[in-house]
Structure 1
């Protein structure tokens, strides 16, 4: 088991073999070809975002699963900020997608290990610190680096 999340009050487990299990319904969805490495509830109960070592970012809802991104590197971290807005990391690259569809990618100092949504954007943990990244709604992407020596795997 790689994580347990709550979707509309129902516990949902993500597994190392790529399955998502809706525990209350005892229903299983084959979401990834390989391990699920990260997961986060999409805002407003719209489903579960999951990233896997298959390079896919997927959104699983009650009515099915859709691929939001397919890359060549595994997805290490994901966070949702508000309905339709989310960020995810593949290797050193942080990709931010807004509800409008605006998308921006940034290369971080090292592999991204954790992302947390904030009121103004995202906090991104990586080697030697955390980077605060502003939202992209107005096409202005801001960054502020907060140095702290070492590897940071959580925020």
Structure 2
């Protein structure tokens, strides 16, 4: 397989994920190309800012959003996660019903984005596109 065909194949795989649009896809391919090529889930989590940071002192332990991340990738993750919640039953199940509240926290969206990155890495490793019926079968939905 030629190099150009491999890139196109990866783009088709990523485009099959729920909620991925042109801008999110272009941002992922441009800004996280190396991590996607290596199928490095941990690097993708760190680059996109969905990997939490735990701060501990003698008396407290808090989990906060990763600040040391790529701004464009971090900004692409939240719209992607929000759209995935609207279009994918499995993503919706990870997002609690905050629809009635005006100020929903972003922690559930980070959790959805984290799952989407794990699914993307698994799909890239196997070379398959997203199949919502397969995800529903595995979750028992």
TM-score (norm 1): 0.25
| Higher share in helix | 2
Greater share of strand residues, 1 or 2? 1
Higher relative contact order (CA 8 A, sep 6+): 2
